[in-house]
Structure 1
Amino acid sequence: MKNFTLKQLHYFSTVVETESIAEASRKLYIAQPSISIAIKNLEYTFGQQLLIRHHAQGVSLTPDGRRFYDKARELLRLSHEFEQNTLADSEKTSGKISIASFESVAPLYIPKLVAGFKKMYPDIEIQLHDGEQHEVMVGLHRGQFDLAFLYDLELDNSISKDALNVPHKPYALLAADHPLAAKDSVTLAELSREPMVLLDVIPSRSYFLNLFSEKGLHPKVAYTSPSIEIVRCMVGQGLGFSILVTRPSTKVTYDGQKLAYVEIDDDMESSTLIMAYLKITEPTKPARLFMDYCRNYNLDDCSIQAI
């Protein structure tokens, strides 16, 4: 029987995913020599070269290493599933859930969901991560996250999806003293004649711009930012309009400027928040408990919506 440990596999997988022993060391808080020794022991044990070391340029997988990584990742997933299901089946329900969310969802929904769930299951640990949608999807596919909260835009069919709210329609964000702010509603054509402040994250960027291009309109993008609050502040200063689905309960920006939310007349694609996990995996029991809680939590009753 070959002698190896799950810890060695974990070190190896982290090196593969970060493409660097140094970066894996920082991520794992483990000294680089310990990681290097673990990988060399795996290579010796299985008689295969798993990695190609590039001087000052990280590492890459050999063909044997690619096959080994796929098997190692599956074994680590099964080990995690076994551990978490066993903890959740004990008299005192415990375990760990790793949750990722599209970065604008994170502050708007996740704290409420976590706070309510922790009241029911105080011994289940929840680890939170946020990022752009492609970052969340990469982590989900690599087994770094149990669940992901995303918008059902530009996603492939590798994931199972649970809708968590009804579709929400975008609205126009304007400075309170903007001439269009006094109207009950505006059209995309009216907005396209004004400078635009664009939320510059994927898939939001393409989603908002496509609303115009589908109608043959091409607004002038004057400013971009990946931060919703920067976008709101730029609009509040009168530097342009924006389109969002985010509706914070306050219409005042960080720097004290007043905003107006104005509905848009045009028919357009709405957005739906989903809870996602990989189809090829079975969620752990702690993850299933959290999913059940989220399904029973009516997000449409919240005063905040997001994209």
Structure 2
Amino acid sequence: MTDLTLRQLEYFLAVLDRGSVSDAAKDCRVSQATVSAALAQLEKQLKVTLIARGPARRARPTSAGREFGVRAREILSNVSDAVESLNDESAALQGPLRIGCIPTAGPRMLPATAAQFVKHHPQVDVSFVEAHPLTVQQMVLNGEVDVAVMYRKQIQIEGVTRHDLAEVQLHAIVSADHPVAEQDGVDIAELIDDPLILLDSPPTADLLISQIRGIGYEPSVRWLIPNAETIRSMVGLGLGFSLANAVPHPDTLTFQGMPVRYLPVTNPEFANTIVGVTMTGARLSKKLTAALDILRKTAADTDPHRWKHQSRTPKLTHP
């Protein structure tokens, strides 16, 4: 039997995640020579090349390396779970925790989640990755993140398990001087003649367009933009309206200092859920359970209904 060590697996996965031996060494707080030696010994023992060295000293996994990486993560996770199971319920949570998130939900979910871990679980080495929905789901399946935060309607891959965090209501974003700006809610029919500016983050735009068509309307899409802040600025300038599930505090301004309004879309077809996604069959450790609990609390604390009666910025005129 090949005598592998957990340290070899740890260094190999660090190279896989960081993309270079030097960055992996920094993360593991050892020298580059230590990581290189461990990796070379691992490849010698397995009689296979796991990492291909590319230009600029970048390290990319071979097909064998990708497959072995999934197994290696399972091994380290199982060992961590075994150690955790021996601890008392009161023992402090510790060790790495990797949370993935789609960029549109990141501002809502990640900062407060990070603050909760720093305050209540300082021994947990929590890290975050933002990526598009399909990418972050694949990262769950590959074992690159422990849980991914996204929306229910974005789930496209089999082999993941959904954990509901909170119900969400789609909101229309309009300029502060739009005719519907002071309403408590809006039907898509009231906006259908306006230009629509959507986030260019597959499958978000396609899903929204399909849903609008499903209720009998044809949207006039003016632009697909990959940056939510850019979209908010365009809306603030009266160039169109947009749609979003994540709603910032009502005092949030555009880059140019202009207010916009977020109005709940009253059409029931747009109801959605913000979810945490884990690998199907993966054990929900105490650390992962704590992460899901914190994510649920964060989602509740940032529910736009909590801000309904808070101050709003006065109207500004377009420049």
TM-score (structure 1 length as normaliser): 0.78
1:302 & 1:43 partners in 2: Cα distance?
47
Where does residue 199 of structure 2 map in the other structure?
199
Structure 1 residues 304 and 66: alpha-carbon distance in aligned structure 2, compared to 1, 3 A threshold: same
Where does residue 20 of structure 2 map in the other structure?
24
- SS of equivalent residue, structure 1 residue 192: coil
Where does residue 272 of structure 1 map in the other structure?
273
Q: Cα offset for 1:236?
A: 0.5
Q: 2:242 corresponds to which letter in structure 1?
A: S
Structure 1 residues 45 and 246: alpha-carbon distance in aligned structure 2, compared to 1, 3 A threshold: closer
Structure 1 residues 210 and 7: alpha-carbon distance in aligned structure 2, compared to 1, 3 A threshold: same
2:287 & 2:209 partners in 1: Cα distance?
39
- Deviations, residues 171-222 of structure 1 (Å, cap 9, x unaligned): 2211111234355654434423221221222342223222223245333332
TM-score (structure 2 length as normaliser): 0.76
- SS of equivalent residue, structure 1 residue 144: coil
Q: Quick check: 1:50–1:62 contact (8 Å CA) kept in 2?
A: no
Q: 2:24 corresponds to which letter in structure 1?
A: L
Q: Cα offset for 1:270?
A: 1.2
- Runs of 4+ in structure 1 deviating by more than 6 angstroms, as ranges, are none
Q: How many residues align?
A: 296
Q: Cα offset for 1:237?
A: 1.0
- Deviations, residues 205-248 of structure 1 (Å, cap 9, x unaligned): 22322222324533333233333222211100111111122222
1:246 & 1:171 partners in 2: Cα distance?
8
Counterparts of residues 1-307 of structure 1 (less than 5 Å): 1-14=1-14, 23-25=19-21, 27-29=23-25, 35-46=35-46, 48-51=47-50, 53=52, 56=55, 61=62, 68-85=68-85, 89=88, 92-96=91-95, 97-116=97-116, 118-155=118-155, 156-166=157-167, 168-181=168-181, 185-254=185-254, 255-294=256-295, 297=297, 299-300=299-300, 302-304=302-304
Q: 2:138 corresponds to which letter in structure 1?
A: V
- SS of equivalent residue, structure 1 residue 73: helix
Structure 1 residues 171 and 164: alpha-carbon distance in aligned structure 2, compared to 1, 3 A threshold: same
2:265 & 2:259 partners in 1: Cα distance?
19
- SS of equivalent residue, structure 2 residue 181: helix
Q: Cα offset for 1:95?
A: 0.3
| Structure 2 gap ranges (5+) | 306-319
Q: Cα offset for 1:263?
A: 4.0
2:73 & 2:85 partners in 1: Cα distance?
18
Q: Cα offset for 1:282?
A: 0.9
Structure 1 residues 43 and 115: alpha-carbon distance in aligned structure 2, compared to 1, 3 A threshold: closer
2:137 & 2:22 partners in 1: Cα distance?
22
- SS of equivalent residue, structure 2 residue 154: coil
Q: Percent identity?
A: 25
Where does residue 314 of structure 2 map in the other structure?
none
Q: Cα offset for 1:152?
A: 0.9
- SS of equivalent residue, structure 1 residue 179: coil
Q: 1:150 corresponds to which letter in structure 2?
A: M
- SS of equivalent residue, structure 2 residue 73: helix
